[in-house]
């Protein structure tokens, strides 16, 4: 059942209860969790936070907590399966679900007692009528629609993030938000890079402007140590303010693919690009914070001007930045990369819960050391991705399997353990597909999706598989994953596919 009034049907119900939060291990859910925690702390709501990474984790977490809790909030998990059939809960258990994965199971939609969906009904979900689904056998006309349990596939641009819903609730019901929760929503928005990004960024800009007006009042001006959020145009260079400009250009997907840095000609082109900007190599190769102020003042304009000459006309993007103190400045994308690196840390002694808590902590300004640690881990991951992409392109590891492209990382590949995690493998997928499209002369590759597999646990013989849509927006993306994953499963028939909420790109 869809929740129409988030205050009366959700928050007022759980505010005086003990609540179990079952949070998926991804960035969108992480930001939503941070905002939800802020709400619960304000109203002193008792809750238990349980990170879950797959269906098995979700089932185990429910079994461990079903005796102590009657109310469960599921973030980015649970909507696309028949949850009651899967968990077999007692009749007094109630599940509040907000999940961006599609399609949504219709059993969850039409359950009025135990399933409450925190999903906007105007999201063009294509919900079939009750009579079309639950009808007697003698009334069936023999048509096999193949859609008896799930809703139709939905474009990613129609989804509404849970952190956006919670942020709106905190804004309108509490008559104001903190700057930190506002930036959490900005960070969750940064995960999206699709059609909905342009629309949502305008909405967030209004909230950011409201906070900024507080600082314009001379009588109530804020201290320099207070957090400020700004909406700005910045460069599409990953982590460049916490790295050297040269390393950021080399390891950013956008610039690396346009220059084809895995080739000698690409390296030569990069040197020509730097010469065209007139920036000394000594300045470019040192940390951004250590560059001359005179160079940094006009750096964005200089890079944009030279980028236009080399065909990179959209080097600038709209984004949000946060400032506090004299030297602390982070873009939303910086926090996304840092949190993702912490969330998928491959340290031996860390459990999934430990990495989740560390990633959650980096969203607080009081844990700057944790955030900087995440940025350092993100740099290592980006370097590993760039090297793996170069290796795959140069050794022709990408194979055409008819309706899709396929790549398998063999055991023993450098940094292969890093890609045993869903977000890292998906990021590698996006980088690799873009690089392959730029490097091949076959124009048809722009219309093909990419399926990628990597060893997850060598001892158990498990494999993780990720899939992303084609580069071209004109191709048919609707139902390619079914055929593609069947083919990928055949190629890895001796292994076990990883149990995860989302083996394909959202």
* Ordered structural domains, the chain, with CATH: 6-124 (3.90.1640.30), 193-384 (no CATH), 396-492 (no CATH)
Beta carbons within 10 angstroms of residue 125's beta carbon: 21
Contact 301/262 with Cβ under 8 angstroms? Answer: no
CB neighbours of 354 closer than 8 A, spacing ≥ 6?
none
Can you tell me whether residue 208 is helix, strand or coil?
helix
Cis peptide before 103 (omega within 30 of 0): yes
Sequential pLDDT tens for the chain (506 residues)? 888 888 889 989 999 899 999 999 989 899 889 989 988 998 999 999 999 988 889 999 999 999 999 999 999 998 888 999 999 999 999 999 988 888 888 888 888 889 999 887 765 666 777 667 666 554 544 444 444 444 444 433 334 445 555 555 444 344 344 556 555 666 655 555 544 555 666 666 666 666 555 555 555 555 556 677 778 888 999 999 999 999 999 999 999 999 999 999 999 999 999 999 998 889 999 999 889 988 888 899 999 999 999 999 889 888 888 877 777 888 889 999 999 999 998 887 788 889 999 999 998 888 889 999 999 999 999 999 999 999 999 999 998 878 889 999 988 888 899 999 999 999 999 999 999 999 888 888 888 999 999 999 888 888 999 999 998 765 555 555 555 555 555 555 444 445 566 534 34
HEC profile of 432-480 = HHHHHHHHCCCHHHHHCCEEEEEEEECCCCEEEEEEECCCCCCCCCCCH
**Rounded distance, CA 422 to CA 77, Å?**
15
Regarding beta strands 228-235 and 316-324, do their DSSP bridges make them parallel or antiparallel, or are they unpaired? Answer: antiparallel
CB 364 within 8 A of CB 228: no
- pLDDT for 47: 93
Q: Which of 342, 278, 300, 483 is nearest to 401 (CA)?
A: 483
C-beta atoms surrounding 152 within 10 Å: 14
CA distance 449 to 434: 11
Ramachandran region, residue 381 (left: φ > 0; alpha: ψ -120 to 50; beta: rest): alpha
Number of residues that make up the chain: 506
Q: 54 near 499, Cβ under 8 Å?
A: yes
The C-alpha atoms of residue 183 and residue 450 are separated, in whole angstroms, by 33
Helix residue ranges, H only, 252-349? 253-259, 264-277, 281-284, 293-297, 299-309, 332-343
């Amino acid at each position: 059942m869809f929740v129409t009034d988030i205050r009366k049907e959700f928050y007022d119900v759980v505010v005086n209860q003990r609540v179990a939060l079952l949070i998926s291990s991804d960035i969108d859910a992480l930001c939503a969790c941070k905002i939800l925690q802020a709400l619960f702390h304000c109203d002193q709501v008792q809750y238990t936070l349980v990170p879950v990474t797959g269906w098995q984790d979700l089932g185990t977490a429910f079994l461990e907590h079903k005796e102590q809790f009657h109310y469960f909030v599921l973030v980015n998990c649970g909507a696309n399966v028949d949850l009651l059939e899967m968990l077999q809960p007692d009749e007094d258990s109630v599940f509040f679900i907000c999940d961006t994965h599609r399609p949504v199971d219709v059993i969850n939609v039409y359950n009025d007692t135990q399933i409450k969906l925190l999903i906007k009904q105007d999201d063009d979900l294509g919900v079939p009528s009750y009579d079309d689904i639950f009808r007697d056998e003698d009334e069936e006309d023999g048509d096999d629609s193949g859609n008896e349990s799930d809703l139709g596939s939905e474009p990613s641009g129609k989804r509404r993030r849970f952190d956006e819903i919670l942020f709106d609730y905190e804004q309108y019901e509490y008559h104001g938000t903190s700057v930190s929760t506002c930036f959490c929503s900005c960070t969750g928005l940064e995960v999206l890079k699709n059609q909905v990004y342009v629309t949502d960024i305008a909405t967030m800009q209004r909230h950011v402007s409201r906070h900024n007006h507080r600082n314009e009042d001379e009588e109530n001006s804020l201290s320099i140590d207070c957090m400020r959020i700004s909406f700005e145009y910045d460069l599409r260079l990953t982590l460049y303010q916490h790295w050297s400009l040269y390393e950021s250009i080399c390891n950013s997907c956008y610039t690396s693919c346009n220059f084809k840095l895995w080739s000698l000609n690409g390296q030569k082109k990069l040197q020509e690009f730097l010469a065209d900007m007139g920036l000394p190599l000594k300045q470019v190769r040192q940390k951004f914070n250590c560059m001359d102020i005179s160079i940094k003042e006009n750096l964005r304009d200089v890079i944009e001007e030279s980028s236009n000459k080399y065909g990179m006309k959209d080097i600038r993007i709209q984004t949000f930045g946060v400032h506090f103190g004299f030297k602390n400045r982070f873009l939303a994308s910086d926090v996304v990369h840092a949190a993702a690196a912490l969330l998928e840390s491959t340290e031996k002694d860390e459990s999934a819960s430990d990495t989740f808590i560390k990633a959650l902590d980096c969203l607080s300004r009081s844990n700057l050391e944790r955030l900087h640690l995440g940025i350092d881990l993100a740099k290592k991951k980006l370097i590993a991705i760039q090297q793996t992409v170069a290796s795959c392109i140069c050794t022709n590891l990408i194979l055409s399997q008819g309706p899709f492209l396929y790549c398998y990382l063999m055991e023993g590949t450098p940094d292969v353990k890093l890609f045993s995690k869903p977000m890292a493998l998906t990021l590698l997928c996006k980088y690799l597909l873009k690089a392959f499209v730029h490097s091949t002369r076959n124009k048809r590759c722009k219309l093909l999706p990419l399926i990628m597999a990597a060893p997850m646990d060598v001892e158990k013989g498990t494999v993780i598989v990720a899939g992303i849509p084609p580069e071209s927006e004109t191709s048919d993306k609707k139902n390619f994953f079914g055929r593609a994953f069947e083919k990928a499963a055949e190629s890895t028939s001796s292994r076990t596919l990883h149990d995860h909420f989302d083996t394909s790109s959202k």
